[in-house]
Structure 1
Amino acid sequence: MLSPTPNHAEGSIATAGGCLASVYLAAWALLHAVGESAARAAIEYAAPVGEKHEVVERVMSAVTATKAARR
């Protein structure tokens, strides 16, 4: 089944495409390694000033949508 998001994960393997691929993969890895609050904090730290909230929500919704699609 194809994922409707720009990233896809099965078990401990993830892939992503597009200009935010590295951000999606970093968020996915952090989410699984240290939890959602740490992943959000790291993405917010790296996001452009003035776009922090939007970037964090976009990235986390894509990463968690992949997780929800597997259930």
Structure 2
Amino acid sequence: MFIIIIILYSLIAGIDVVPLYKNKQKKELSIYFASIAICCFISILTSLDIKIVSPSMMLQEIVISIKRLF
């Protein structure tokens, strides 16, 4: 299953990268590759049934601790 995910992400990235490369938008290209790599990694982990920790609990703890200060 994860091979299909890699192929699909590569296909999508290949289609989206051409205009960025032709217009020499290096900053946007690097941000695009970083975001597509993170999304692909999360998709592969999900397809392998690996639990991904939700950041909402950590953010909730941070907000509660800030509220306690005030």
Q: Same fold, TM exceeding 0.5?
A: no
**TM-score, normalisation: structure 1:** 0.35
Structure number with the higher strand fraction is 1
Q: Which has the larger radius of gyration?
A: 2
Structure number with the higher helix fraction is 2
